Amino acid sequence: MGRIAVTGSVAFDTIMEFAGRFGDHILPEKIKELNVAFLVERLEKRRGGTAANIAFSMALLGERPVLCAAVGGGDFVDYAAALEADGVDTSGVLTCHDITTATAFITTDRDGNQITAFYPGAMARAAGVDLGGLAGVSEVVVGADDADAMALHVEQAGSLGALLVFVPAQQIPAMSDAVLRRGLDQAWLVGGNDYEFEMIRDRTGLSIDSLSASRMVAVTRGAAGSELHTPDGVSAIPAAAVTEVVDPTGAGDAYIAGVVTGFRAGASPDVAGRMGSLAAAYVVEQRGPQRHRFDLASFHERYAESFGASLDLCSDVGA
């Protein structure tokens, strides 16, 4: 088992909570000359981004993933140090010294409606992240990123002879049909939620059943659990119990981290799916996609409590 490279976004999320309702402050008859301001009661800056979230949870599970993403020059220093301290290899990062790391500004009202502004920053240069120089890579995760970078990294995964984990997520609309089909065709594992797979079907005509005829497909369905579809059948995965749902942001990233880590340790689809489910449960219990903590012993213990069976793997996680 070689190294795993994780591509995708690295970002800062600035979360603001508005106690009122947006609809009460937006006049329909004035929508063409909109000028509103919202006084927020809570502001929090979080570390996030698809690639960083996946790599973070993999590291908690004992892996040493290589983060391969474009970041800003000055604002990523502390972020990088924190990831390294948790076991993420940041040597694959492309640092752009004249620009900042991608940033999302998200305002949420009391009904859960959101207004988001996203500045891609260094992510727009992610096509400069070259996987060709990485040695001993056996899997490449291609997560949501600059669309051109995703196309490049799909091709580079093939050149490396690595298994491709394709998780296009929110970038599905931004990708050309050719690039989306190329990622799906080459993938060893395709991951996403049920809505994203509906978008894939609308774009390509490929259903979950047709995709899983020659590869694995991981489909998340929120509180209803998930499914792992393989050429040999479907494994229905229950959602792991949570103490309290605080924030679902990043749960899908943790799910992919758990599933892929499980497969790398020789797990069956049933077990790998449950590892993903449990990793996601840790995330939703905290605010932010990288606030959860566990060690392998506590993960094994909670797995047994959640699913009524011990976590038996063919090899040690992260070996």
Residues acting as catalytic residues = 253
Instruction: Give 94-141 as a DSSP string.
Output: EEETTSPPEEEEEEE-TTS-EEEEEE-GGGGGGGG---TT--SEEEEE
∠ CA(145), CA(160), CA(315), 5° rounding?
Answer: 90
* Secondary structure class of 49 (helix, strand, coil): coil
CB 65 within 8 A of CB 55: yes
The Cα 210–Cα 123 span in angstroms is: 32
Ranges of H-type helices in 162-250: 177-186, 194-204, 208-211
Q: How far apart are the first and last CA of the chain?
A: 8
Ranges of H-type helices in the chain: 50-60, 77-85, 147-160, 177-186, 194-204, 208-211, 251-264, 269-284, 296-307
Within a 10 A sphere around the Cβ of 319, how many other Cβ atoms?
A: 11
CB 141 within 8 A of CB 51: yes
